[in-house]
Amino acid sequence: MPSPSPDRRALLAAGVTVLLWASAFVSIRSAGHHYDPGALALGRLLAGSAVLGTILLIRREGLPPRAAWPGIIGSGILWFGVYMVALNWGEREVDAGTAAMVVNVGPIVIALLGGWLLKEGLPPRLLTGMAVAFVGAVVVGFSMSGGGTGSVLGVLLCLLAAFTFGMGVVLQKPALQCASAFQVTTFGCFVGAIACLPFSGQLLSQVADAPASATLNMIYLGVFPTALAFTTWAYALARTTAGKMGATTYVVPTMVVLMSWAVLDEVPGWLTLTGGALCLAGVAITRSRRRTPAPAAVVPALVETAD
């Protein structure tokens, strides 16, 4: 069997990321009842750092090149650190539907910053697909929120999470030109954990009182949606544009709905399903390629010969 093309491998990696990030919303809501936002972020990053650090020692990859460090440090502080704290806090202030709507500003930030700073441009298909997917995300979020009930603080925190997500991705992209996806993810996770160390007192005091289920959710967040999903994200990001990768995250609300349907037996309504279909259609548009017309067949000229 021939090995899959690089683009197909990137799509598979992006699919793994989307699936695990969707599951993170459920785990954050569960663990957030027993851990403060900063403590939950630190515990998640420590668990992820433990897994990634162990693999790093086994693989003996060493330190990334010096040119990759600005992007690693920037994305580590903004995306691994600030984003996780803001999202954890935001999900305590607003319902899941409102959070899904606001956080999905992130891919738009990625497309705009990627087009400006990374010179990726803004292809019409990308803009069209993102517009369709964003409308779908709003529909899904509105249907899940029952009209949108949440505090102003919660909305602002989710906006902060969206912007730091977008800026983190754009900072990470150049680092992937100098270092491997695994190195960028591992040391970005280390930087995020260091940035969250001020919450270590909260984590130590709350881990003693939290139920085992909440702590297991925190460890799950570190091992799978962080260590694994951020690595597969970086692998895919290194092989496509930041704008297209950002657009794939519009599938996350749809996956959350399907998981709630399968695991929690929460049957989605027609409005939710319609929004999910729009999200999928929008992402498909961003990933589609412009068809080039097939070259016209060359008809051999008839040469008349004299008798």
Range of the domain at 204: 6-287
Is 149 contained in some domain?
yes
Number of domains observed in the structure of the chain = 1
Q: Answer yes or no: is 211 within a domain.
A: yes
Q: What is the pLDDT of residues 39-68, one digit of tens each?
A: 999 999 999 999 999 999 999 999 999 999
Overall pTM surpassing 0.95 (yes/no):
no
Residue 97 lies in a domain: yes
Angle of helix 124-145 versus helix 106-117 axis, rounded to 10: 160
Neighbour-count burial of 192, counting CB atoms closer than 10 A to its CB (0-12 exposed, 13-18 middle, 19+ buried)? buried
Q: Is 256:227 a contact under the CB 8 Å cutoff?
A: no
d(CA 226, CA 228): 6
Percent of the chain with pLDDT over 90: 44
In which residue are the tokens 């529909």 written?
139
Residue 77 maps to a domain: yes
Assigned domain for 299 exists: no
Q: Is residue 20 included in any domain, yes or no?
A: yes
Let me know if residue 41 belongs to a domain: yes
Residue 298 included in any domain: no
In this prediction, residue 266 carries a pLDDT of: 57
Q: Please list the ranges in the chain whose pLDDT falls under 50.
A: 1-4, 148, 294, 296-299, 301-307
